[in-house]
Amino acid sequence: MGEHRVVVVGGGFGGLQFINDLKGAVTRITLVDRRNHHLFQPLLYQVATTILSTSEIAWPIRHLYSDRRDVTTLLAEVTGVDAARKQVQLRDGTTLDYDTLVLATGATHAYFGRDEWEPVAPGLKTLEDATTIRRRVLLAFERAELATDPAVRDALLTFTIIGAGPTGVELAGIIAELAHKTMPKEFRNIDTRTTKVVLVEAGPRVLPSFAEELSAYAQKALEDLGVEVRLGKPVTECSADGVKIGETFLASRTIVWAAGVQASPAAKWLDIPADRAGRAIVGPDLTAPGLPDVFVIGDTASVKRSDGSPVPGIAPAAKQQGGYVAKVVRARLAGKAAPQAFRYRHQGSLATIGQSAAIVDFGKVKLKGWIAWWIWGLAHIYFLIGTRSRFAVAWSWLWIYLSGQHSARLITQKETMRDEG
Amino acid sequence: MGEHRVVVVGGGFGGLQFINDLKGAVTRITLVDRRNHHLFQPLLYQVATTILSTSEIAWPIRHLYSDRRDVTTLLAEVTGVDAARKQVQLRDGTTLDYDTLVLATGATHAYFGRDEWEPVAPGLKTLEDATTIRRRVLLAFERAELATDPAVRDALLTFTIIGAGPTGVELAGIIAELAHKTMPKEFRNIDTRTTKVVLVEAGPRVLPSFAEELSAYAQKALEDLGVEVRLGKPVTECSADGVKIGETFLASRTIVWAAGVQASPAAKWLDIPADRAGRAIVGPDLTAPGLPDVFVIGDTASVKRSDGSPVPGIAPAAKQQGGYVAKVVRARLAGKAAPQAFRYRHQGSLATIGQSAAIVDFGKVKLKGWIAWWIWGLAHIYFLIGTRSRFAVAWSWLWIYLSGQHSARLITQKETMRDEG
């Protein structure tokens, strides 16, 4: 114990795991985040699709550490790091001194150089993103109900999801269920069962990180829900009117971007090499090259597995890295030998398709259908922080399961009918 | 039954009660609202103060009528009424023909000619208002934690509520509890128990619509929670730095407006007389003068009780009016004699002070303390629409009661630390 000052930037899975595992080792930990909440990102798509409400998947960070007198939480935006002075720079001009720095600042969505697509094709990384997508999806049905021109109505009832990774597949499945199962009885001028949900993937199959047989199953399950899967051609244009897939134009008033990820600027702050997605390339102990007191973890770090493949940008990977760095810092403070190099243990991949199908890939064991769906559900409820949220989410799901009705279907925020025109 | 076309503007308590009670009488009801949700306004202050989340007190209107094939729900903004042509005008330029029109468009907050105060002293009428107030309250504590100047810190930890009606009293009580009970363990640089919550009322007592003994009890209960009650002097200035009460300046970075109400422009649309708050003065059968097919109900109507006092702008009054108008319309369609003039039955007044005290005024019977609090809680849970919300709200309250922790403490929307400066 001593006045060793630890600064953690980012209250995501990696940052929190690090702080949890460092308990008792140091007396001064400062956690900086520009948000006041930790977000359970794996369920964010359920907020975007009216299943869960925002407070069911996000918790005030400072509440999580109310009993940890060693942890100070600051709501502030980091703008840079002065590694020579060992200082973190905040937007208000003040600085924080550190002895050990952990950067766990995550990633955002990327448009591969087409940032002008963002306003018409929002991505899904924050609570605001989720409520934006929810609002747009719900408003599209509302406008279709009012539309007099059949072409406009069809474009309003066509939803395009770009990118068939887990997020894209999950969004497409639930939007299709919303249109085909939840909403039909509620509209008088339109038949929401005519809704088209188009999932576009430039690669040859959906969920490319899963085994081929599971990809095939997922595609079949999506098609059963009424999703149109278009593979092998990239989106070449996005506008308020629709998308161009290869050379073909699709009139679609609602577009969601689930295709690319860009790391936060941690590598730039440290002036160290990054990979193509902007992830800082770190050493085997997750330190920045030449900066032994600075660790980079989670989605903003580029780490390789023993077979040379990249560690995936998922919550369990970030948690393992946070736990590992806590071990390294503990060893250093205790004057003990450093632990062996970080080694990622893949626990399995999960994805859901709508509310009754899922796939689970544990490597040797591959599961699909309702068994996979229950494993997925229990795993996610288990990993939700906070007893109350576990119950609340379980209750929301049970309710939808029994009643078929989504409850979080609110159109909020300023962007009203009038603003969007 | 026939092609009698009924148009209802506004999906609040009055409009929904009217539609519910008209079931089976006509075949074409069109409900127009510029929001997609019905809002349980009596609990809106609990969203503003982190107790409930938005989806616990709001429901998609069209879902409420999914089984009523006679009801068409439109998300659209009404801009006027052409009473001669019997048409409602929508913002997109289209019109809706009516045979019977019910205007139930509610009220918003009013600044008595000082509209420039709105940005610094937001009122509480919509879900967005509630999340705005919640964000400002939470950000004030966050900024205080970062503040280096003691004067700035004190101003950040001073909250001013203007107006000591039920909403003002409820907000003040919960903010005081938040600061004095929920948050103290979570901050390291500030002691949130030093927070000042100031409730300003120009009149001589809090909750003026209650009996004097109950007002006195409420004031005592507020003071026990740490609220400073300032009576008898109006607020004469509001700015980003604070308020002027009479001639005294109070440095306060967070101000909430709970003082005045302004009716929606229904009276202007119809070109009929209105009272000082803009409420349409209607006849004894709630029709607009000279327009027997147009009814105005709820907070946008000025109705007198038999003793000449105004019918209060509360949910039960709006519901009674909606039910009454349904009876009138039914009688007309059936060719029967019109019901007697509308007569308001006051069922009692309720208000809470924090999370353990309340007052109930049934006229002869007056209750206070925890018994009143349980009556208040049960009454509100009972009147919540939708089984799920009843359980969800009961569960949220029980959780807070048992754990002392609020769960809906999220800072969302665009207005971040940086934007507010």
Residues B206 and B308 in one domain: no
Min Cα separation B58/chain A (Å): 7
For B238, the domain range is: 115-259+355-420
Mean pLDDT on A11-22: 96
pLDDT given at position B109: 87
More confident residue, B343 or A413: B343
Residue B321 lies in a domain: yes
Residue B172 lies in a domain: yes
Q: Which residue of A36, A399, A418 is in closest CB contact with B77? A: A418
| Whether B37 and A410 lie within 8 Å, measured CB to CB | yes
First to last CA, chain A: 60
Residues B124 and B181 in one domain: yes
Residue A342 lies in a domain: no
Q: Please determine, for the modelled complex, whether the ipTM score is greater than 0.90.
A: no
Distances in Å between the alpha carbon of B83 and those of B106, B146, B329? 20, 58, 18
Residues A128 and A254 in one domain: yes
Residues A230 and A318 in one domain: no
Residues B129 and B210 in one domain: yes
Encode pLDDT of A36-56 as tens digits.
999 999 999 999 998 888 888
**Contact of A294 with A81, CB cutoff 8 Å:** yes
**Half-sphere exposure of residue B262: CA atoms within 13 angstroms, side-chain side:** 12
Residues B162 and B235 in one domain: yes
Distance of CA A90 to the CA centre of its chain: 25
Residue A383 lies in a domain: yes
| Whether A69 and B188 lie within 8 Å, measured CB to CB | yes
The three-state secondary structure class of B194 is helix
Residue A42 lies in a domain: no
Count of structural domains, chain A: 2
Encode pLDDT of B228-286 as tens digits.
999 999 999 999 999 999 999 999 999 999 998 899 999 999 999 999 999 999 999 99
Residue B67 lies in a domain: no
pLDDT given at position A415: 40
Residues B247 and B359 in one domain: yes
Residues above pLDDT 70, as percent of chain B? 94
Residue A341 lies in a domain: no
Q: Is A87 exposed, middle or buried (CB count within 10 Å of its CB: 0-12, 13-18, 19+)?
A: middle
Cβ contacts (< 8 Å) between B388 and chain A: which residues?
399, 403, 405, 407
Encoded amino acid at A348, one letter: G
More confident residue, A260 or B168: B168
Min Cα separation A394/chain B (Å): 12
- Please name the residues in contact with B227: beta carbons below 8 A apart, sequence gap of 6 or more: B172, B173, B176, B197, B198, B199
Residues A178 and A315 in one domain: no
Among A402, A399, A398, smallest CA distance to A377 is for A398
Residues above pLDDT 90, as percent of chain A? 77
Distance CA A344, CA A304 (A): 8
Residue A62 lies in a domain: no
Residue with tokens 């939700």: A384
CATH number at residue B14: 3.50.50.60
- The domain boundary residue, chosen from B333, B363, B386: B333
Residues B145 and B269 in one domain: no
Catalytic position from the list B56, B118, B170, B186: B170
Residues A182 and A223 in one domain: yes
Residues B239 and B374 in one domain: yes
Cβ contacts (< 8 Å) between B93 and chain A: which residues?
none
| Whether A413 and B128 lie within 8 Å, measured CB to CB | yes
Mean pLDDT on B93-105: 97
The mean-pLDDT minimum among A140-154, A332-346, A396-410 falls in: A396-410
Residues B239 and B327 in one domain: no
Q: How confident is the model at residue A383 (pLDDT cuts 50, 70, 90)?
A: confident
**Which residues of A belong to the active site?**
170
- The domain boundary residue, chosen from B333, B366, B389: B333
Nearest chain B Cα to A91, which residue? B418
Mean pLDDT on A107-136: 93
CATH number at residue B156: 3.50.50.100
